[in-house]
Amino acid sequence: MSAAIRLDNLTLGYERHPAVHHLSGSFERGSLTAVVGPNGAGKSTLLKGIKGLLPPLEGRIHLEGMSQDDLSFLPQQTELEADFPISVWDVILMGHWRRTRAWGTMGHRHRQQAKAALEAVGLEGFARRLVSSLSGGQRQRLLFARVLVENAAVILLDEPFTAVDEQTVAELLAIVRGWHEQGCTVIAVLHDVEQVRQHFPTTLLLARSALAWGATDTVLLPEHWARARAMSEAWDDRAPFCSQRPHRQSPP
């Protein structure tokens, strides 16, 4: 397989504190990859960097034959404004924005796609509801529906199953498998190791740098996890990486 996304000595972070450093490797086109690691390992930071929300401090992110319009990003629920007065239907239609832009018109085809996405996640009949009235699981279904409408080649999921009941997780995993079967490149930050073993053939174990990256059964080994835990415990006991020298660029 050819690469969809290639990382070249990538360092990402905030001000003078890198959260991901010297990461090189590639996500193959059509692959289904879990990103795992201890808290503070830089997993969410990596997805934000790939999506272009966080500029590299060093190195580069290569989108092979693609632009940012070809990437769909589902952030953590904690980063969303659940009380914003917007309807479920309007959130779904926002998924068409990358094709219609701000002044584009929503035709019959766009509305049919939005309706089909709501049905696919089990939210038919919820179109006129306010997002603030939804439960956590329903909001997550809604976000998956918006990603369905976006119809992107690369899908980035940041902890997509957190605080979601088992039935919803099973249904959302089925959607993820569908994306993979259709040839999409899917990268998901996850915490449930058994979930990763069962559903994700490729895994990146991240502890600010890559400790292992490849077939899941060769990555999720006890010795790799032991090293990740040891590195996590050491982070609070030493000065921030590269704190001795300024970086060329800081994010806004």
At 13-45, the pLDDT tens digits run 988 788 999 999 999 999 999 999 999 899 999
Q: Note the pTM of the prediction, 2 decimals.
A: 0.88
What does residue 100 show for φ and ψ, rounded to 5 degrees? -95, -25
Domains located in the chain, CATH noted: 1-66+155-164+184-252 (3.40.50.300)
Between 130 and 104, residue with greater pLDDT? 130
At 74-119, the pLDDT tens digits run 998 755 666 678 899 999 988 887 665 544 566 778 889 999 999 9
At 189-225, the pLDDT tens digits run 999 999 999 999 999 999 999 999 999 999 999 999 9
For residue 154, give the H/E element and its range.
Answer: strand 154-158
Which residues fall within 8 angstroms of residue 207, CB to CB, at 6 or more apart? 37, 38, 41, 42, 227, 228, 231, 232
Helical H runs in 30-103?
A: 43-51, 88-93, 97-100
Between 238 and 201, residue with greater pLDDT? 201
Q: What is the pLDDT of residue 249?
A: 38
The answer to whether residues 158 and 44 touch, using CB atoms and an 8 Å cutoff, is: yes
Mean pLDDT (whole number) for 173-185? 97
The total number of residues shown for the chain amounts to 252
Q: Is 59 exposed, middle or buried (0-12, 13-18, 19+ CB in 10 A)?
A: middle
Q: What is the pLDDT of residue 104?
A: 57
Between 69 and 251, residue with greater pLDDT? 69
Nearest to 116 by CA among 153, 154, 148: 148
What does residue 139 show for φ and ψ, rounded to 5 degrees? -65, -40
Compute the distance between CA of residue 91 and CA of residue 29 in angstroms, rounded to an integer.
28
Compute the distance between CA of residue 134 and CA of residue 174 in angstroms, rounded to an integer.
22
Q: What is the pLDDT of residue 136?
A: 87
Mean residue pLDDT across the chain: 87
Helical H runs in the chain?
A: 43-51, 88-93, 97-100, 108-120, 136-150, 166-181, 193-199, 216-219, 222-235
Q: What is the pLDDT of residue 185?
A: 98
Compute the distance between CA of residue 173 and CA of residue 199 in angstroms, rounded to an integer.
8
Which residues fall within 8 angstroms of residue 1, CB to CB, at 6 or more apart? 28, 29, 30, 31
Nearest to 138 by CA among 164, 160, 166: 164
* Whether residue 154 has pLDDT greater than 80: yes
CA atoms within 13 A on the CB side of 159: 16
Compute the distance between CA of residue 93 and CA of residue 113 in angstroms, rounded to an integer.
9
Q: What is the pLDDT of residue 100?
A: 56
Q: What is the pLDDT of residue 231?
A: 85
